Amino acid sequence: MKTKEIDLPMFDTSVVLCLDKTTEKICALMRDSVSIEHEDAYEGFCVIYMGKVYVFIVDSEKYKTVNTITHEIYHAVNKLWALMGADSSVNPRDHEPLAYLNGYLNEIAFKFYKPKK
């Protein structure tokens, strides 16, 4: 499994990007701590595990799409907010902090999941 850890000191945690041909390894690693059902049906998923946010994408051109990557990063942003004890809808008129974090993580994620050849 290929991984990349993004340290986020302002959140006192990190986001771990994971890529593998199947979900089997990551699900086996987390099975005792995280409820993961229908392992073979995932294109990607995002979980909090041992204080870190894990974003997993199946390594297939069918699944390494803009839709799947941005979908899972969106979940990661909300999980980071939850780890801080914050509500992502605290100020419905100003989502800029969430948007900036989403953009930052997506930029790194695209370089990891879809590197230029």
Express each pLDDT in 36-89 by its tens digit: 555 556 788 888 888 999 999 988 888 788 999 999 999 999 999 888 887 766
pTM of the model: 0.85
Domain count, the chain: 1
Give the sheet arrangement for strand 2-8, strand by strand.
2-8, 13-20, 52-58, 44-49
Calpha distance 6→37 (Å, rounded): 26
Count Cβ atoms below 10 Å from residue 113 Cβ, excluding itself: 24
Calpha distance 2→79 (Å, rounded): 22
Which range of residues forms the domain containing residue 65? 2-113
pLDDT at 79: 92
Calpha distance 101→89 (Å, rounded): 15
